Structure 1
Amino acid sequence: MCGLLGILSADSNAGDLVSAVGSAMHCQRHRGPDETGTWHDDDVAFGFNRLSIIDIGHSHQPLRWGPASNPQRYALTFNGEIYNYLELREELAREHGAVFQTEGDSEAIVAAFHYWGPEAVRRLRGMFAFAIWDTESQELFLARDPFGIKPLFLATGRAGTAFASEKKSLLELGELLGLDTDLDARAIEHYTVLQYVPEPETLHADIRRLESGTYAWVRPGKEPEATRYFSPAFPVRPFAAGDEQSRYREIAAALEDSVAKHMRADVTVGSFLSGGIDSTAIAALAMRHNPNLITFTSCFEREGYSEADVAAETAAAIGAKHVVKVVSPEEFAASIPEIIWYLDDPVADPALVPLYFVAKEARKHVKVVLSGEGADELFGGYTIYREPLSLKPFGYLPRGLRRAAGRLSDRIPDGTRGKSLLHRGSLTLEERYYGNARSFNDAQLRSVLRDFRPEWTQQDVTAPIYAESAGWDPVARMQHLDLFTWLRGDILVKADKMTMANSLELRVPFLDTEVFKVAAQVPLEQKITKTTTKYALRQALEGIVPPHVLHRAKLGFPVPLRHWLRGAELQDWARQTIVESGADHIFDKAAVTRMLDEHRDGASDHSRRLWTVLCFMIWHGIFVEHRIVPQIAEPTYPVSL
């Protein structure tokens, strides 16, 4: 896992750009503190920061490879890991006579591209964002993994097209590229509603992201031409009578194979552990390959029940050594500017703060960790996925009666039992479900956002995705939507950014294409029941996950934000952030202050809405006003890990 940066010159003067690339790489040094390098020819300038995980003494990047007729034909810069690289190397050598000079996964990518063309990306099991420059065809090939685990930002300006693992590097090159640094008003509105910036947008209008599951060709002087190669579908295969156990074994086998391949590394691999079923399954399977596995969790200073207690109990049950990081309110507040700098664009999910601290703690012990992200989206783990069951009776009503129920709900006082059920039952799935987060409704948004445009809605994001799933069962449609929104916009962004901030590689075995194949076939009744979620996965993990975890409800990663914003922990900090912010032209600071007052007095719970605005204000102070300058330490870590 590393950081890459490059420019395809518009006029064959890459030699004049390489020094700027080298300088701009420094702001993503945390992604690869082990070594750094640049390479250029007349057309491209590549830069790379390496976190050495596989074939540590070799596989240096930017990497050159080619067939016997032209052994220097290609140049590669690659962020991520290819977990089936050994199998690919063997096949390429056997079938095509490919010759390799290293023992790593990077050469497997280039050789696969040479012999299989763009279709090679479908053969890669792993997380990746990479660039391949073909010196013969004079074409740049960019690709990103199916689920969007690894990021890739793009910008095209007068000097050419640039790409990077982190947006801040492109901002460093902004003047050279001739980029417009204006903010994207539509992206700001999307962020405020969803608490993240949805792909392919960023908050800067001239910088975009190559979407998950997409590759792109770039030719000198032209805009990138993108093609989607992975379109997740849910081809449900009903369970035949008496076939249940074989299907559960199929799920368990796919996950076990994925974990085994995700354990491939020449450094120590640990695992995050919350005590929930997903992370416990990954850790328990990892123990089969490393009986000395270390697990990590974080929690907050609070009285009574602690999620850390559950994680410690689980670690003891599977026999893992366990490390806990306790985060204080003071640490929480002090870390926010640094964390938002690492994020590039704000993600208003408070769970990323404890993730940042547990990653920092884990990096003292290991260089790679496994985690359970993706299980909920693949196997139906969110409680909201049970909503179609509760709203099913509304589906039998004529459309007019459903709309009447909605109008009736508008007249019922807030807080009255049944109001929300009537309202949501009156809506179609497309109207009511936008993913796992919605911070502001339209009325609230109008009150705080100065440039509110009612024609810009979250349906800008969701409508094209829903169009692809017409005719599927409602839970599959929700899962599909979350793969393109919540998972890649929030979950995977915070996972990548918070671990790489600490030069720690995070691997997510659930988000493997082979695991997805079996998960996508699970029928509705094997995902959601009246009493549980992820039913088939829970059955598949019998004998792998300890019984006390197997049927426990989803824990989440609760942050005492509501309490802290109401009390001494964060109340003054929040008020000062609002007062000092220079984002007056974007957010009505008086309206935001009223929200804070109402929250303090207990009149309403505005914690998530406040957090969304506060994160933006700090981001604006860093990247627009340049008033806030986070203290970013040069990464230094033990080489023995």
Structure 2
Amino acid sequence: MCGIVSLYNKRQQPAQLETITAMSKVILHRGPDDDGFHVEENIALGFRRLSIIDVAGGHQPLFNENRDMWIVGNGEVYNYKELQEWLKDRGHQFHTDSDIETILHLYEEVGVDAPKHLRGMFGFTIWDSRRKILFGARDHFGIKPLYYTQTNDSIGVASEIKSLLEMPGVKREVNKTGFYHYLTFQYVPDPETMYEGIYRIPPAHSFIVENDQIKLTRYWDVQFAPDESKPFSYFVEGTRAAMLESVDKHRVSEVKRGAFLSSGVDSSSIVGMLRTFEPVKTFSVGSDIPGYSELEYARRTAQYLGTEHYETVISAEQYMDELPRLIWHQDEPVADPSAILLYFVAQLASEHVTVVLSGEGADEFFGGYNIYREPQSLRMFSGMPDWMRGSIRSLATKLPDTVKGKNFLIRGSKTVEERFFGNALIFSEEMKAHVVTENLKLLADYHTPWEITQAVYKNAQGYDDVTKMQYLDIHTWLRGNILMKADKMTMANSLELRVPFIDPKVFEFAATIPTKYKIANGTTKHVLREAMKDFLPPEIKTRPKLGFPVPTRYWLKNQFYKWAKELIFESKVDHLINKAYVLYMLDEHREGHGDYSRKIWTILVFMLWHQIFIEQKHSFEPYVSPAVEMRRKNSSSIEQIG
């Protein structure tokens, strides 16, 4: 796990070592163990290393036999040993045992098809001096981040946006269209970011920089293929086998491992499976507000599974003290309050291990969100013609808000494409009209949120409604929220997070499970629950998903109220946000007239991000936590699972 930066001078002028060094330095947290650079002609590659595999020999940038190809890479490739043996049989010579060197030789052998053969999480860049091109790719589901931008002189690619901001000529400007979509989704959907002119390399895409241009190409796509011919038991047994194999693959490292543990099925399953291979250290976090902590359940699960368990309790004051730095680590606003608790549990884990396994992705792959049960509850509407649905909607919208069932009728009268935007829908278009300033509403290139989701739904035609919802979440919520916060908050603590559920082989099998086995028996991800029951305490099997709950609803009425009001007044976003309306929501929330917590938090996170990156009111130096420094000093005990 590392951080990478790459710079290509479009004018064919010599690349500047000073620039690539500055781009690398600002992501020190991603790789405190080592750095490395390669400058050749008009390109420069930079690298920050967190040593995981081939600790002794895996220094990057790495090169091929003739030193006419160089690579920097971030992530882990779990099938690199098999690929390495195949490549050796074809005459390739390796000078390290690094998984990243395997990618380079694979590129030599199969060219731009190399990413198709990789199983893991990755973002990499290769300088091919034979063809004079910069080639790279991001993993299938977007576990590892990769961004790019271009100026009049250069094209830059990096693991974090803050590296690109070090490039001469890169402006710090708000992407107004991105801001509009952020108000809907609580993050900016691919390929945009909150910065004008800075973009994500989408998951499952490769890129080539050649002739002063960057061209992106999709190398893989998500496809569901439910198999109605197989019995329920087939999917239970197959899921168990696929997950055990994936967890075993995700153990590959030369450093100590552990796992995050909340109180739900996903993380508990990972710990239960990992426990069959080795002793496990587990880590949990909770708040100090009653009803907002899962620590008791996590503690009982850890005791049942026999792990060496650690936990931490976070107060409102601790949360607030760290918030500005953590928004800096995020690069762009993601208004998920649990991201901050994820930072604290990662901080705890970083005192003991370098790698953690976690349960992200189970809900998207196996049908775990409660909203996925909605098509079943609305099935009475499914056979209605469009004209009848429209009539019901027209009548329902005229009913008073106090009428029970009004929302049910409105949602039932809509198709899944019309009603489902993914797991977050913060502001409706009607409420946005109150939140944004008048001049912003006239933005020429504004597109509605429906245009974002319709582009995804277009490729999901033929699937049932639940599968369409999974497909949308994999392409939006998973990559934009879940994986973004997972990467940024763990790497802020120089900790590598691995996600065995989010694996191409696991998805290949999960994609064959019919919906009737995913949403069944009064619950979600039914197959997964049955497959994991032998690894879990009986009480966990049916527990609803809670993750790491955060009491922002309570804090905004109490400890955070004064801070929130000051931030609203001080932030220089009057050209974007109607502050009077935000203050109205804050006071209504405090008085208990409505729960505006998610909406207010979305605005506050944006304002704080704006102060840090646009106004540059706060500045942060590259930083490695004392816990990580202590871990590095005490890392004499090396364990290898091969």
Q: Shorter-normalised TM-score: what interval?
A: over 0.9
Output the CA distance in 2 between the equivalents of 1:393 and 1:107. 56
Give the C-alpha shift of residue 629 in structure 1. 2.9
Aligned to 1:592: 582
Per-residue CA deviation, residues 251-285 of structure 1 (Å, 9 max, x unaligned), is 11111111101000000010000021111111111
Larger relative contact order (CA 8 Å, sep ≥ 6):
2
Matching of residue 99 in structure 1 with residue 88 in structure 2: no
Single out whichever of 429-438 and 415-424 deviates more from structure 2: 415-424
Aligned to 1:123: 117
Per-residue CA deviation, residues 306-337 of structure 1 (Å, 9 max, x unaligned), is 31111111111111011111000001112111
Matching of residue 26 in structure 1 with residue 25 in structure 2: yes
Matching of residue 88 in structure 1 with residue 83 in structure 2: yes
Residue correspondence of structure 1 range 155-194 to structure 2 within 5 A: 155-173=149-167, 176=168, 178-194=169-185
Output the CA distance in 2 between the equivalents of 1:319 and 1:34. 32
Secondary structure in 2 aligned to 1:548? coil
Matching of residue 482 in structure 1 with residue 473 in structure 2: yes
Output the CA distance in 1 between the equivalents of 2:549 and 2:409. 29
Output the CA distance in 2 between the equivalents of 1:631 and 1:334. 16
Give the C-alpha shift of residue 401 in structure 1. 1.8
Instruction: Please say if residues 26 and 622 of structure 2, whose CA atoms lie closer than 8 Å, have aligned partners that are also in contact.
Output: no
Secondary structure in 2 aligned to 1:339? helix
Aligned to 1:40: 39
Which of 332, 346, 356 is equivalent to 2:333? Answer: 346
Secondary structure in 2 aligned to 1:468? helix
Per-residue CA deviation, residues 547-590 of structure 1 (Å, 9 max, x unaligned), is 221222222332111111112x1111111111111111110111
Aligned to 2:639: none
Per-residue CA deviation, residues 493-525 of structure 1 (Å, 9 max, x unaligned), is 000000000000000000000000000000010
Aligned to 1:359: 346
User: CA 1:630 to 1:135, structure 2 compared with 1: closer, same or farther past 3 Å?
Assistant: closer
Output the CA distance in 2 between the equivalents of 1:257 and 1:58. 27
Residue correspondence of structure 1 range 299-448 to structure 2 within 5 A: 299-303=286-290, 306-448=293-435
The one-letter code matched in structure 1 to 2:256 is T
Q: TM-score, normalised by structure 1?
A: 0.96
Matching of residue 625 in structure 1 with residue 640 in structure 2: no
Give the C-alpha shift of residue 305 in structure 1. 7.2
Output the CA distance in 1 between the equivalents of 2:292 and 2:109. 56
User: CA 1:46 to 1:631, structure 2 compared with 1: closer, same or farther past 3 Å?
Assistant: closer
Output the CA distance in 1 between the equivalents of 2:465 and 2:546. 24
Output the CA distance in 1 between the equivalents of 2:563 and 2:521. 43
The one-letter code matched in structure 1 to 2:573 is A
Matching of residue 263 in structure 1 with residue 251 in structure 2: yes
Matching of residue 452 in structure 1 with residue 471 in structure 2: no
Matching of residue 205 in structure 1 with residue 204 in structure 2: no
Q: TM-score, normalised by structure 2?
A: 0.96
Give the C-alpha shift of residue 633 in structure 1. 3.6
Aligned to 1:2: 2
The one-letter code matched in structure 1 to 2:336 is D
Aligned to 2:638: none
Output the CA distance in 1 between the equivalents of 2:434 and 2:379. 34
User: CA 1:38 to 1:635, structure 2 compared with 1: closer, same or farther past 3 Å?
Assistant: farther
Give the C-alpha shift of residue 249 in structure 1. 1.4
Secondary structure in 2 aligned to 1:208? strand
Give the C-alpha shift of residue 613 in structure 1. 0.3
Secondary structure in 2 aligned to 1:146? coil
Instruction: Please say if residues 457 and 468 of structure 2, whose CA atoms lie closer than 8 Å, have aligned partners that are also in contact.
Output: yes
Secondary structure in 1 aligned to 2:556? helix
The one-letter code matched in structure 1 to 2:328 is W
Output the CA distance in 2 between the equivalents of 1:169 and 1:617. 21
The one-letter code matched in structure 2 to 1:403 is G
Output the CA distance in 2 between the equivalents of 1:13 and 1:415. 68
Output the CA distance in 2 between the equivalents of 1:118 and 1:59. 23
Aligned to 1:518: 509
Per-residue CA deviation, residues 198-244 of structure 1 (Å, 9 max, x unaligned), is 1110111111110001001111422x11111121010111143xx43
Output the CA distance in 2 between the equivalents of 1:587 and 1:244. 51
Per-residue CA deviation, residues 353-410 of structure 1 (Å, 9 max, x unaligned), is 1101000111000000000000000000000001000111112222122112212222
The one-letter code matched in structure 2 to 1:111 is H
Per-residue CA deviation, residues 286-317 of structure 1 (Å, 9 max, x unaligned), is 112222x1000100002357311111111111
Instruction: Please say if residues 433 and 441 of structure 2, whose CA atoms lie closer than 8 Å, have aligned partners that are also in contact.
Output: yes
Which of 247, 264, 285 is equivalent to 2:235? Answer: 247
User: CA 1:531 to 1:516, structure 2 compared with 1: closer, same or farther past 3 Å?
Assistant: same
Output the CA distance in 2 between the equivalents of 1:14 and 1:313. 60
Output the CA distance in 2 between the equivalents of 1:197 and 1:307. 29
Output the CA distance in 2 between the equivalents of 1:139 and 1:457. 37
Output the CA distance in 2 between the equivalents of 1:313 and 1:521. 34
Give the C-alpha shift of residue 120 in structure 1. 1.8
Per-residue CA deviation, residues 427-485 of structure 1 (Å, 9 max, x unaligned), is 11111000000110112111011113595221221111000011111111110100110
The one-letter code matched in structure 2 to 1:596 is L
Output the CA distance in 1 between the equivalents of 2:369 and 2:68. 47
Instruction: Please say if residues 386 and 529 of structure 1, whose CA atoms lie closer than 8 Å, have aligned partners that are also in contact.
Output: no
Output the CA distance in 1 between the equivalents of 2:447 and 2:423. 19
Output the CA distance in 2 between the equivalents of 1:179 and 1:494. 24
The one-letter code matched in structure 2 to 1:623 is F
Instruction: Please say if residues 8 and 14 of structure 1, whose CA atoms lie closer than 8 Å, have aligned partners that are also in contact.
Output: no
Per-residue CA deviation, residues 40-67 of structure 1 (Å, 9 max, x unaligned), is 100210111000001101111111113x
Which of 572, 579, 587 is equivalent to 2:569? Answer: 579
Across the two proteins, how many residue pairs are aligned to each other? Answer: 627
Aligned to 1:472: 463
The one-letter code matched in structure 2 to 1:300 is S
CA RMSD of aligned residues (A): 1.4
Identity among equivalent positions (%) equals 42
Aligned to 1:59: 58
Give the C-alpha shift of residue 632 in structure 1. 5.9
Output the CA distance in 1 between the equivalents of 2:174 and 2:489. 24
Residue correspondence of structure 1 range 525-536 to structure 2 within 5 A: 525-529=516-520, 531-536=522-527
Instruction: Please say if residues 337 and 630 of structure 1, whose CA atoms lie closer than 8 Å, have aligned partners that are also in contact.
Output: no
Single out whichever of 627-636 and 547-556 deviates more from structure 2: 627-636
Instruction: Please say if residues 162 and 331 of structure 2, whose CA atoms lie closer than 8 Å, have aligned partners that are also in contact.
Output: yes
Residue correspondence of structure 1 range 536-615 to structure 2 within 5 A: 536-567=527-558, 569-615=559-605
Output the CA distance in 2 between the equivalents of 1:231 and 1:380. 19
Secondary structure in 2 aligned to 1:113? helix
Give the C-alpha shift of residue 180 in structure 1. 4.1
Instruction: Please say if residues 133 and 140 of structure 1, whose CA atoms lie closer than 8 Å, have aligned partners that are also in contact.
Output: yes
Output the CA distance in 2 between the equivalents of 1:530 and 1:447. 43
Aligned to 2:130: 136
Which runs of at least 4 in structure 1 moved beyond 4 Å after TM superposition? Answer: none
Secondary structure in 2 aligned to 1:489? helix
Output the CA distance in 1 between the equivalents of 2:292 and 2:328. 32
Aligned to 2:482: 491
Matching of residue 225 in structure 1 with residue 212 in structure 2: no
Which of 89, 105, 108 is equivalent to 1:111? Answer: 105
Which of 271, 274, 293 is equivalent to 1:286? Answer: 274
Single out whichever of 189-198 and 282-291 deviates more from structure 2: 282-291
**Gaps (5+ residues) in structure 2?**
636-642
Output the CA distance in 1 between the equivalents of 2:522 and 2:148. 45
Output the CA distance in 2 between the equivalents of 1:500 and 1:298. 17
Output the CA distance in 1 between the equivalents of 2:225 and 2:146. 29
